[in-house]
């Protein structure tokens, strides 16, 4: 994920660097995005729980 997101590689180029097939690289990107989404949503829930509904802006 770092090669694609931070370094600007295409999935095909990242797959070549990592020695993977393009399909395997796409699968890893998909799974990484799912993990990232779950992490961000989980932290958003924690932050939201710290503030009563009337105090949120």
Per-residue confidence of the chain (57 residues) as pLDDT tens digits?
899 999 999 999 999 999 999 999 999 999 999 888 888 888 877 777 777 776 555
Give the global pTM: 0.70
Q: What is the rounded distance in angstroms from the CA atom of residue 3 to the CA atom of residue 39?
A: 20
Can you give the pLDDT at residue 41?
A: 83
Helix (H) or strand (E) holding 54: none
Can you give the pLDDT at residue 4?
A: 95
Nearest to 24 by CA among 15, 32, 16: 15
Can you give the pLDDT at residue 46?
A: 73
Can you give the pLDDT at residue 55?
A: 55
Contacts of 22 by beta carbon, 8 Å cutoff, 6+ apart? 11, 12, 15
- Which runs of consecutive H residues, i.e. helices, occur in the chain? 2-5, 11-18, 22-49
């Amino acid at each position: 994920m770092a090669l694609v997101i931070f370094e600007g590689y295409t999935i095909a180029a990242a797959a070549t660097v990592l020695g993977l097939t393009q399909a395997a690289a796409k699968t890893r990107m998909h799974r990484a995005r799912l993990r990232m989404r779950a992490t961000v949503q989980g932290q958003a829930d924690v932050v939201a729980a710290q503030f009563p509904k009337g105090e949120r802006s």
